[in-house]
Amino acid sequence: MDKIELSKHIKQGDTFYTPYTDPNGLGATLSISSWANCWLPEFLWIGLIVKKQGRKKGLESLYHIIEDLKRDDMAIPQLSKIFELSGEQQKKYWSIVTRYVEGNILLPLTVVITPDINETFYDFFFDFSMSVDDNISELLDIAKETNRFHDELSTDICFIVDWFYVLKGKLHISSEIDILPTALSEYYKHNHKDEVMRAYRPIIRSTFQGLCNLDCSKEFSERIWKVLGKISECNPLVIVWDEEASMDFYKIANQTIEYFSANNEDKKMESKYAVIMGMTCYIYKIYQEIVEKQMQNGIAGRILFRTMLETYINLKYMMQQESEVSDIYERFKAYGNGKYKLVMAKLREEKYTVSDDSQIDEKIMELIVNEDMDEAFVNMSVGYFDKTGVRTKFHKCGEDELYEIYYEYATNYAHGIWGAIRESSMLICDNPAHTYHCVPDYHMDQNLRSVLGDCEMVMKKTFDAIAAYIELPDFYTI
């Protein structure tokens, strides 16, 4: 399916709906179902015949089976519906199938269609000499080959199901639709590599969807997957990202910070200098921790990168605003002291208590809050600094890309949103019987793509932002 452009989404409230999910349009009636989860188990027997007999012979055998079943008014493709027939009818059904198909072809299904699911099928195909492991392996192979609706074998299954409905008279083809009758009569004659199949496959699948949307048992499919899932192991896959070896910029950044510490004596008493260089050092210390503690491929690296971004944008925003707000740096310090005071006051008044082992030290907080003035004159704010939201600051600073891509992405990690959890802490299970579910990364095997390149980018932006106020060293030529 083609990707939908952002401009084609419909915004309602704080949600962007696709044209398919718009609650005032198609979304009001749309019912979404999964080929693998809802439909495939019903037709695994068809897939086994095509795969094990070979495509040409398998399709021919199934066509003859459908014709014979039609004579007995039993042209039903869904296993769940076949199992609703009487015991004698079921025996007749599978007797017709085995006129054209060896019993060992459907034998693997007996590892999931146990007597408690359907005794007739089990008794008809079960063989005590069978290898359970081999049959499980065959089922996993067929499930993997047909897991996606657009797979070639999946489309072959759809073709046979379409013919079930054609031969029992439940699929009526309009004379205005030229390609469908041609596709149904010519499909089996062509290999999937033939160019004409690019036109036939979509019409075969769309016809199947129209027939089977309301004609399959989700409960039956769930039961089959549950049984197969229990008797097969998870196979979690890990994406391994290599660490980046180059530390060239980190060395330059370190030397640049050393240069700042040895110069700018004329500015060191200014509040502006304290704030600008304090924030620069804060950004650099985060970068340093990521590098030296090798956090670049982990969750913490992404969370720290987001903090680098937010600190940088506050710094750039204040430098941009200082011509209009002369005391903006003092305001920034007072805002931060108020944030500390709020926590300290609640502890002091014993609204809450923290352990002696806690990271929070009330005495240090009190010292910081009272550093510039007595806390009696320090206000407390629960909003954004300068009453300006983060998004607005990025926009005013001309850093929309930083916000819309990097900050939005990293925020998923800072707030524990599912996308971040899935990428960092869940592994895909490469077992089609488990419908490729996610497995918690209990052993911490999954690493992430390095944040070092993005950290360098923010560090460079920080140096560029302060260059108009603090002279950069001659060796800084990045």
185-220 pLDDT, tens digit per residue, is 889 999 999 999 999 999 999 888 877 665 778 889
**Between residues 289 and 380, the one the model is more confident about:** 289
- 272-300 burial string, b = 16+ CB within 10 Å, else e? bbebbbebbebbbebbbebbeeebbbbbe
- In sequence order, the 6+-apart residues with CB closer than 8 A to the CB of 245 are none
- Cβ 36 vs Cβ 51: under 8 Å: no
The burial class, CB within 10 Å (0-12 / 13-18 / 19+), for 179 is exposed
DSSP string of 221-234? HHHHHHHHHHTS--
pTM above 0.85, yes or no: no
Average pLDDT over the chain reads 88
Residue with tokens 């600008």: 276
- Cβ 477 vs Cβ 327: under 8 Å: no
What are the pLDDT digits (tens) for 224-276? 988 988 888 888 888 888 766 678 899 999 999 999 988 877 777 788 999 99
Local confidence band at 167 (pLDDT 50, 70, 90 cut-offs)? confident
What is the predicted pLDDT for the residue at 28?
Answer: 57
Residue with tokens 């949103």: 417
Output the CA torsion sign for 291, 293, 298, 302: negative
What are the pLDDT digits (tens) for 67-125? 999 999 999 999 999 999 999 999 999 999 999 999 999 999 999 999 999 999 999 99
Local confidence band at 385 (pLDDT 50, 70, 90 cut-offs)? confident
Residue type, 321: Q
